Amino acid sequence: MEDPASKYFSCSSQERAIFEAGIKLGSIYHQYTGIPINESNVDLLERAIERAVKVQPFVEEVNIKIDRNKVGKNQSSYKYKTLTGDMLNVSLTINYEGSRVEGSMHYVEEMDYPLMTFRVIK
């Protein structure tokens, strides 16, 4: 696929893949947190997020894991929670014209923060 947006960029394909990884991770956090969740829909929700992320350009692979321990514990009397960033484990691969980058998000305990990071795949 030729990229119709290429004229709006002046960068290497590796830099572009890094940028696209950032976009997808930021999008996931802010789009899906807040969705009601308990044991009954956690599997389906993981699959639905994965498939929606794959709709976006240059996404080769995506894996979403929601932490069952956090879904399950501290249940309110209203018996469900809403999805939060610290429950999310995301791994995705961007392929931009052959340059591949793996982006990921996971909760880092010592920072108390859902950290987004990436690595270039050689």
CB of 29 to a second copy, least distance (A): 7
In the block, which residue shows the tokens 């795949």?
121
Residue 100 binds a second copy, judged by CB under 8 A: no
Long-range CB pairs of 109-116 (<8 Å, 24+ gap) are 114/29, 114/85, 114/86, 114/88, 116/22, 116/25, 116/26, 116/29
Residue 63 binds a second copy, judged by CB under 8 A: no
In the block, which residue shows the tokens 């920072």?
111
Residue among 2 and 98 whose Cβ is closer to a second copy: 2
Distance between terminal CA atoms of the chain?
21
Residue among 55 and 98 whose Cβ is closer to a second copy: 55
Residue 116 binds a second copy, judged by CB under 8 A: yes
Would residue 42 be called left, alpha or beta, if left means φ above 0 and alpha means ψ between -120 and 50 degrees? Answer: alpha
Residue 92 binds a second copy, judged by CB under 8 A: no
**Residue of 13, 29, 60, 61 interacting with a second copy (CB under 8 A):** 29
CB of 109 to a second copy, least distance (A): 10
CA pair distance 80, 34, nearest whole angstrom: 12
**Contact set with a second copy (CB under 8 A):** 4-5, 8-11, 14-15, 18-31, 33-38, 40-41, 44-45, 47-48, 51-57, 74, 76-78, 80, 82, 84-85, 108, 110-113, 115-120
